[in-house]
Amino acid sequence: MPQTDTSAPVIKDQSDFYWESLSGGRLVFQYCLSCGEKRFPFRMSCSRCGSFEHAIEQSAGTGVVVSHTRVEKPLIGTFTKPYHVVLVELDEGVRMLGILQGTAPAPLIGKRVVASFNSESPSPLCFIPDGQSDAS
């Protein structure tokens, strides 16, 4: 049976700026200078108009959970289990994945969350349910 690689993903290429921003506590996405389309993940050109001209915009880090899953068996060895992966639609209109910190409210879909940049978390991007300021 083949061994599963449990190391963290390698960060490279177009996503470098995103990961560097996260490590500095900033949540960013691309903004097309031609048509105004906001996009994430980072791409070389706009999927709406094809333009290569873009800028970087900083998110306020607030949004709503639109989907989630509970992971019982982590694929990356640094995660503790179980944990929730959440898909969050940020208030700026782009969607990002992160790890939920704190207590998962029920139902989780539709709950407001705030981005958290916990350097002790195995994921550089986490979301905390709005109002759970002391989550760990």
Give the residues lining the site for Zn ion (CB under 5 A): 32, 34-35, 37, 46, 48-49, 51
Smallest separation (angstroms) from Zn ion to the CB of 53: 8
Q: How far is the CB of 35 from Zn ion (least distance, A)?
A: 3
The terminus-to-terminus CA distance of the chain in angstroms comes to 36
To Zn ion, the closest distance from the beta carbon of 98 in angstroms equals 26
Specify the 3-state DSSP secondary structure of 25: coil
State the Cα–Cα distance between residues 48 and 50, nearest whole angstrom: 6
Nearer to Zn ion, 8 or 49 (CB): 49
Q: Return the exposure string of 55-86: e unless at least 16 CB atoms fall within 10 Å of the residue's CB, then b.
A: eeeebebbbbbeebeeeeeeeeeebeeebbeb
Q: Are strands 112-116 and 126-129 parallel, antiparallel or unpaired?
A: antiparallel
Q: By C-beta, is 32 or 99 nearer to Zn ion?
A: 32
Q: Closer to Zn ion at the Cβ: 14 or 51? A: 51
Cβ nearer to Zn ion, comparing 3 with 47: 47
CB of 15 to Zn ion, least distance (A): 19
- How many Cβ atoms are within 10 Å of 103's Cβ, its own excluded? 10
The answer to whether 93 and 38 are in contact (CB under 8 A) is yes
